[in-house]
Amino acid sequence: MIDIKKLCFTYADSVRPSLEDVNLHVEGSEMVLITGPSGGGKSTLIRCLNGIVPHFYGGTISGSVVVAGLSPFKAGTKEMAEKVGMVFQDPENQILTNSVEREVAFGMEGMGLERSLMAKRVEEVLDTVGIDHLRKRSMEGLSGGEKQKVIIASVLALQPEILVLDEPTSSLDPKGAEEVLHVIRRLNGEFGTTILLIEHRIDRVIPFVDRIIHMDGGSVKFDGTPKSWVDFVAGLDYELPQMLDLGRDLKRRGFIGEIPLTVKEGRQALAPVFREHWSGTVSAADRLREKGRSIVCLDDVWHKYEDGTMGLRGVSLNVRQGEFLAIIGRNASGKSTLASHMNSILKPTKGTVRVEGIDIKNESPARLARTIGYVFQNPNMHLFADRVEEEVAFILNNFGFPEKEVTRRTANILNDFGLSHLKDAYPRDLSGGEKQRVALASVLVAEPKLVILDEPTRGLDSSRKNFLIEYLEQYNARGGTVVLISHDIELISRPCVERVILMSEGAIVADGPRRKILSKSLNFSPQINRLVQPFGQYGVPSDLLVKEEILCGLS
Amino acid sequence: MKSYAYRWLDTPVHHMHPLVMTTWAFSIMVLSFVIEDPVMLAALFAATLTLVYWAQIFDRWWGFFKLALFFSIFIVVLNVIFMHQGNTVIFKIPWEVPTMGHFDITLEAFFYSVGMAIRLITMITAFAILTYTVNPDDIFEMLMKVRPLQRTAFLISLAVSYVPALLRDMDNIRISLQTRGYELEDKKLVNRAKKSSAILLPLMMNSLDRSLQKAESMEARAYGTGKSRTCLFGRKLTGFDALLLAASLLPLAAMVLSLLIPVGKYQYYPELEPIRLTTGYAAAVLLLFLAGSAVGYLSLFKRRVDID
Run of H or E residues at A319 = strand A310-320
The average pLDDT across A325-332 equals: 88
Residues 6+ apart with CB under 8 A from A48: A4, A7, A9, A19, A54, A61, A65, A72
Is 70 exceeded by the pLDDT of residue A285?
no
Q: What is the pLDDT of residue A137?
A: 86
User: Looking at chain A from residue 176 to 205, which residues have their Cβ under 8 Å from any Cβ of chain B?
Assistant: none
From chain B, pick out residues whose CB is under 8 angstroms from the CB of A105.
Answer: 232
From chain A, pick out residues whose CB is under 8 angstroms from the CB of B213.
Answer: 88, 90, 93-94
* Whether A449 contacts A483, CB under 8 Å: no
- Candidates B10, B131, B179, B219, partner chain A, best to mutate (most A CBs within 10 A): B179
From chain B, pick out residues whose CB is under 8 angstroms from the CB of A439.
Answer: none
Nearest residue to A528 via CA among A246, A284, A254, A280: A246
Is 70 exceeded by the pLDDT of residue A286?
no
The average pLDDT across B238-260 equals: 86
Omega into B270 within 30° of 0, i.e. cis? yes
From chain A, pick out residues whose CB is under 8 angstroms from the CB of B137.
Answer: 97-99, 102
Question: Least CA distance to A107: which residue of chain B?
Answer: B221
**Count of CB atoms within 10 A of residue B200's CB?**
11
Q: What is the pLDDT of residue B1?
A: 43
Q: Which residue has the higher pLDDT, B276 or B3?
A: B276
Q: What is the pLDDT of residue A342?
A: 97
The average pLDDT across A268-278 equals: 93
Instruction: Give the integer Cα–Cα distance in Å for B277 and B210.
Output: 54
pLDDT band at A356 (very low <50, low <70, confident <90, very high): very high
**Chain-chain contact of B209 with A367 (C-beta, under 8 angstroms):** no
From chain A, pick out residues whose CB is under 8 angstroms from the CB of B217.
Answer: 88, 93-94, 96, 151
Whether pTM exceeds 0.80: no
Q: What is the pLDDT of residue B159?
A: 76
**Chain-chain contact of A384 with B202 (C-beta, under 8 angstroms):** yes
3-state class of A23 per DSSP?
strand
DSSP one-letter code for A554: B
Percent of chain A scored above 90 by pLDDT?
Answer: 60
Is 90 exceeded by the pLDDT of residue A196?
yes
Average pLDDT score, chain A: 90
User: Looking at chain A from residue 312 to 371, which residues have their Cβ under 8 Å from any Cβ of chain B?
Assistant: 343, 345, 364-367, 369-370
Count Cβ–Cβ pairs < 8 Å, chain A vs chain B. Answer: 184
**Chain-chain contact of B220 with A86 (C-beta, under 8 angstroms):** yes
- Candidates B156, B221, B228, B229, partner chain A, best to mutate (most A CBs within 10 A): B221
Nearest residue to B209 via CA among B160, B166, B146: B166
- Nearest Cα of chain B lies from the Cα of A256 at a distance, in angstroms, of 46
Which of B59, B158, B206 lies nearest to residue A306, judging by beta carbons?
A: B59
User: Looking at chain B from residue 184 to 223, which residues have their Cβ under 8 Å from any Cβ of chain A?
Assistant: 184-185, 198, 201-202, 205-206, 209-210, 213-223
DSSP for A343-364 reads TTSS--SEEEEEETTEE-TT--
Is 70 exceeded by the pLDDT of residue A287?
no
Q: Which residue has the higher pLDDT, A149 or B233?
A: A149
Q: Which residue has the higher pLDDT, A514 or B226?
A: A514
Q: What is the pLDDT of residue B206?
A: 85
pLDDT digits (tens, 9 = 90+) for A175-190: 778 888 999 999 999 8
Q: How far is CA A433 from the centre of its chain?
A: 11
- Nearest Cα of chain A lies from the Cα of B25 at a distance, in angstroms, of 20
